Structure 1
Amino acid sequence: MIEILKPAELAQAKETGALVGRILHTLKDRCAVGTNLLDIDRWARDMIVEAGAESCYVDYAPSFGRGPFGHYICTAVNDAVLHARPYDRALADGDLLTLDLAVSKGGVAADAAISFIVGESRPPESVAMIETTERALAAGIAAAAPGARVGDISHAIGSVLREAGYPVNTEFGGHGIGSTMHQEPHISNTGRPGRGYRLRPGLLLALEPWIMADTAQLVTDADGWTLRSATGCRTAHSEHTIAITDDGAEILTLPSRVRS
């Protein structure tokens, strides 16, 4: 299913996106050496409930997972990259943490992810990975305009990732979003320009370049959800929800959209 949102729905999408941005960056500010992943999950739950919103994750049970996800946020540390369930683990100095959050409010969902390093350490390889996903995300957003095709976005993202020397996994990528978290079209993190669905104003997309330092292969934890790099290398992941407009793309989950 591909949804084209009406003006009132787009207004709600902006509100939901603002909420996702506020929660993610509040959580980032709270994360420190010694913070437990279960505390992050609890903080996310409290902010979602206080805002009168709903988690897209708690009851999420797709074919690739094992039963309902059961948590409010994904907390991927170091070699974990996608669908990482929070568990009893304290963050250490230099950990590379990715927070991935999807929330629905007023019948419209928004989805975003940020990667950052905990504490004072700044391992150069980790910094480079995070910056690469952020540049790839910016390139994908720049390619998203009415009349462009999904392949144009995929090509823009993949070009940045590959030029930086990272392998690209095509099992998981970006997606349409609207009344539900995951919709068509699928947006691979590499692809050929001029191919795929033609973008239209009112379309919401969640773009999410993610990489692993030296492999494109994933392995799944015993929890049936958490995906890690097959080699144990570090990973990074950046994501925004955008709305296709008459003029291009509007980012809905920017920190600048934070509202009190």
Structure 2
Amino acid sequence: MNGELAALIALCLHGNDWLATGTGRAPDLDTANSAFRYVERVHVTCPQRRMLRSRKWEADGVADWLRFVNDSGARRLSLVVGSAQPSDLPDPLAASFANGGRWALVDDAPTPHLWQSHWAVHDRNRTDQRIWAVQLTGSPLGQSWLAQPAPSSAQEDLRAALDAIRGFAEGDDDIADWATWFTEALRLLDASEPVIPYYPDLAPEGLPRESRQLLAAAVKSWVFGGMGSWNDLAYSDAARKAEYDQRTAELYRSVLAALFAVTRGPLSIRV
């Protein structure tokens, strides 16, 4: 799973769990959650307008950020995706690079904020592997968002995409091992006690089972990495490459739709 996206999902799900009441201690996800296991620090900034002047609010850590979101009047965060940007790379490939995804969070404050993250290597020699510094930047959302129709069934859409791409993998002896991978993702869609791969604490314990199934399957379905991943395949046969590109794009869209469904993010924005 893309670490940047996983971190946003953790912020959204655990953040919403805390924002429901806004009381008690805000979760220190950057020090305690597996989605931040390679993060050294999270720095947050957001412009604030007070009467006729503006100033920049800034703080360190997820807990301070959540308190700021709560104090702004927000009670919910949503995962969103930006509109397409000119690029030589399709989204599944672009997402394999640092800061290559077009994801963000939006809060529902009276004056909503768009929250975008930027990851930069700060100290690659750290023995604990916490090499990343994350900048979380808030900006006024304004009226630039667009409604995104919810899929009729995120679970069935993901199931169909997994079935199709598994069939494609089964038809090629060189990549038959990927069929097992996709079979495991399909199994998680129906698991009675689904465990989220790589990030078992990505969601709070109270997440309903159907949502946890969908989240676990979506995380397992994320094959859009770098060298050695599904993205690393190449075909000289034009017909085979066309089907590979089609199945890859279908899976990518279905995985994102599943994540939107789990986080209940009904918006798509232009960023």
Find the structure with the greater CA-based Rg: 2
TM over 0.5: no
TM-score, normalised to structure 1's length? 0.31
More helix by share: 2
